[in-house]
Amino acid sequence: MPTQCIAEQYEFSCIERRQVVAGFDGGRMTSDAGALLLKRTDDAIGLIDRLSGCFIDGRRPELIEHSVRTLVGQRLFALALGYEDLNDHDELRKDPLFGVLLGKLEARRKDCEALAGKSTLNRLERYPQAGFSPYHKILPDSAAIERVFVELFLDAYAQATDEIVLDLDATDAPLHGEQEDRFFHGYYDHYCYLPLYIFCGKQLLCAKLRPANIDGSAGAIEELERIIGQIRQRWARTRIILRADSGFACEALMSWCEARAVHYVFGLARNARLQRAIGAELHEAMQRCAASGQSERRFKELTYRTHKSWSRERRVVAKAEATPKGENPRFIVTSLSIDDYARRELYEQFYCARGEAENRIKECQLDLFADRLSSEFFAANQLRLWFASFAYVLIESLRRRALSATRFAQASAATIRLKLLKIGALVNLSVRRVKIAMNSAHPYQTEFATAWYALHVAAR
CA dist., res. 112 & res. 100, Å (int): 17
User: pLDDT (tens digit, 9 = 90+) per residue, 185-214?
Assistant: 999 999 999 999 999 999 999 999 999 999
Q: What are the φ and ψ backbone dihedral angles of 91, each rounded to 5 degrees?
A: -100, -40
- pLDDT of 127: 81
Opening angle at CA 78, ends 122 and 114, nearest 5: 70
Judged against a pLDDT cut of 60, whether residue 4 lies above it is answered with no
Q: What percent of the chain has pLDDT over 90?
A: 88
User: pLDDT (tens digit, 9 = 90+) per residue, 326-359?
Assistant: 999 999 999 999 999 999 999 999 999 999 999 9
CA dist., res. 263 & res. 28, Å (int): 56
Provide the 8-state DSSP code for 102. Answer: H
Report how far Cα 81 is from the mean position of its chain's Cα atoms.
14
CA dist., res. 113 & res. 299, Å (int): 65
Q: Please, which contacts does 288-292 make with residues 24 or more away whose CB atoms are closer than 8 Å?
A: 288/322, 289/322, 289/323, 289/324
Candidates 368, 353, 382, 372; CA nearest to 417 is 368
- Position 1: which residue type? M
- pLDDT of 111: 78
Distances (CA, A) of 304 to 273, 310, 314, 345, 370: 10, 9, 5, 20, 39
Q: How confident is the model at residue 27 (pLDDT cuts 50, 70, 90)?
A: confident
User: pLDDT (tens digit, 9 = 90+) per residue, 395-406?
Assistant: 999 999 999 999
Are 117 and 107 contacting, i.e. CB atoms less than 8 angstroms apart? no
Q: How confident is the model at residue 121 (pLDDT cuts 50, 70, 90)?
A: very high
- pLDDT of 414: 97
Q: What are the φ and ψ backbone dihedral angles of 232, each rounded to 5 degrees?
A: -75, -15
- pLDDT of 314: 98
Are 49 and 144 contacting, i.e. CB atoms less than 8 angstroms apart? no
Element (H, E) at 12: strand 10-15
User: pLDDT (tens digit, 9 = 90+) per residue, 33-73?
Assistant: 999 999 999 999 999 999 999 999 999 998 899 999 999 99
Torsional sign, CA 369, 373, 378, 381:
negative
CA dist., res. 68 & res. 106, Å (int): 16
CA dist., res. 227 & res. 305, Å (int): 29
User: pLDDT (tens digit, 9 = 90+) per residue, 153-163?
Assistant: 999 999 999 99
User: pLDDT (tens digit, 9 = 90+) per residue, 205-251?
Assistant: 999 999 999 999 999 999 999 999 999 999 999 999 999 999 999 99
- pLDDT of 25: 83
Q: How confident is the model at residue 134 (pLDDT cuts 50, 70, 90)?
A: confident
- pLDDT of 3: 47
Determine the number of helices (DSSP H) and then strands (DSSP E) in the chain.
16, 19
User: pLDDT (tens digit, 9 = 90+) per residue, 77-95?
Assistant: 999 999 999 999 999 999 9
Direct distance between the N- and C-terminal alpha carbons of the chain, in angstroms, rounded to an integer? 60
- pLDDT of 300: 96
The per-residue pLDDT of the chain, averaged, comes to: 94
Judged against a pLDDT cut of 60, whether residue 1 lies above it is answered with no
- Position 109: which residue type? R
Beta strand pairing call for 10-15 and 55-57: unpaired
User: pLDDT (tens digit, 9 = 90+) per residue, 420-456?
Assistant: 999 999 999 888 999 999 999 999 999 999 999 999 9
- pLDDT of 192: 97
